Structure 1
Amino acid sequence: MKTLVICSGGLDSVSLAHITAAEHQLTRLVSFDYGQRHRKELDFAEAAATRLGVPFHLIDMRTIGAALTGSALTDDIDVPDGHYAEETMRITVVPNRNAVMLAIGFGVAAANGDEAVATAVHGGDHFIYPDCRPAFTQAFGAMQRMALDGYADVALHTPFVTRTKADIVVEGARHATPFAETWSCYKGGDLHCGRCGTCVERREAFHLAGVADPTAYADPDYWRQAIAGREVQ
Structure 2
Amino acid sequence: MSKPKAVVIYSGGMDSFTLLNRVINENYDVYALTFNYGQKHVKEVEVASTVCQTLGVAHKILDISPINQLMQSSSLVGNIEVPEGHYEDDNMKSTVVPNRNMILLSLAIGYAVDIEASKVYYGAHAGDHAIYPDCRPEFVNAMNDVAKIANYEPISIETPYLNSSKGEILKDGLTMNLSYEHTWTCYNGRAKACGKCGACVERLEAFSENQVTDPIEYE
Number of the residue aligned with 2:88: 85
C-alpha contact (below 8 Å) 1:3/1:24 kept by paired residues: no
Segments of 5+ residues of structure 1 without an aligned counterpart are 219-233
Q: Does 1:46 align with 2:49?
A: yes
User: Structure 1 residue 28: deviation in Å?
Assistant: 1.0
Matches within 5 A, 1:87-126: 87-126=90-129
* 2:14 corresponds to which of 11, 14, 17: 11
What SS class does the counterpart of residue 156 from structure 1 fall into? strand
* Count of residues paired in the alignment: 216
**Unmatched 5+ residue regions in structure 2?**
none
Alpha-carbon distance in 2 for matches of 1:203, 1:26: 32
* Residue 156 (structure 1) aligns with: 157
| In 1: Cα distance, 2:55 partner to 2:148 partner | 29
Question: Residue 31 of structure 2: SS of its match in structure 1?
Answer: strand
Shift of 1:177: 2.3
Q: Which residue of structure 2 lines up, in the alignment, with residue 35 of structure 1?
A: 38
Measured after TM superposition, the shift of residue 65 of structure 1 is 1.9
Give the match for residue 181 of structure 2.
180
What is the percent sequence identity of the aligned residues?
38
Query: What is the CA deviation profile of residues 169-206 of structure 1, one whole-angstrom value per residue up to 9, with x for unaligned ones?
Result: 01111223220100000011110111111000000011
Q: Contact 1:5 / 1:26 at 8 angstroms: preserved in 2?
A: no
Cα distance between partner residues in 1 of 2:201 and 2:47: 20
2:63 aligned to 60, 69, 86, which one?
Answer: 60
Per the TM alignment, residue 48 of structure 1 is displaced from its structure 2 partner at its CA by 1.9
Pick which of 43-52 and 109-118 moved more.
43-52
1:38-85 CA deviation, whole Å, 9 max, x = no partner? 101001111221122121111111111221220110011111111111
| Counterpart amino acid of residue 56 in structure 1 | H
Provide the aligned C-alpha RMSD in A.
1.1
Deviation readout 1:103-149 (Å, 9 max, x if unpaired) = 1000001100112100001000012110000000011000010102x
Report the alpha carbon displacement of residue 3 of structure 1 after superposing the two structures with TM: 1.4
Query: Which residue does 1:144 correspond to in 2?
Result: 147
Secondary structure of 2:149's partner?
helix
Superposition TM-score, scaled by structure 2 size? 0.95
Divergent runs of 4+, >4 A: none
Looking at structure 1, the residues matched to 28 and 52 of structure 2 have their Cα atoms a distance apart, in angstroms, of 13
> Match for residue 221 of structure 1?
none
Partner of 1:229: none
2:166 — aligned with what? 165
1:211 is displaced (CA, Å) by 2.9
The aligned residue for residue 197 of structure 2 is 196
Could you tell me whether the CA contact under 8 Å between 1:169 and 1:211 is conserved in 2? no
Measured after TM superposition, the shift of residue 95 of structure 1 is 0.5
Letter in 2 for 1:155: S
Q: Distance in 2 between matches of 1:130 and 1:23?
A: 28
Distance 1:18 1:47 in 2: 14
Q: Residue 147 of structure 2 contacts residue 154 of structure 2 at CA under 8 Å; is this kept in 1?
A: no
Give TM-score scaled by structure 1 length. Answer: 0.90
CA distance in 1, matches of 2:27, 2:165: 22
Closer, same or farther in 2 for the Cα pair 1:31/1:110, shift >3 Å? same
Whichever residue aligns with residue 202 of structure 1, its letter is R
Contact 1:18–1:52 (Cα < 8 Å) also in 2: no
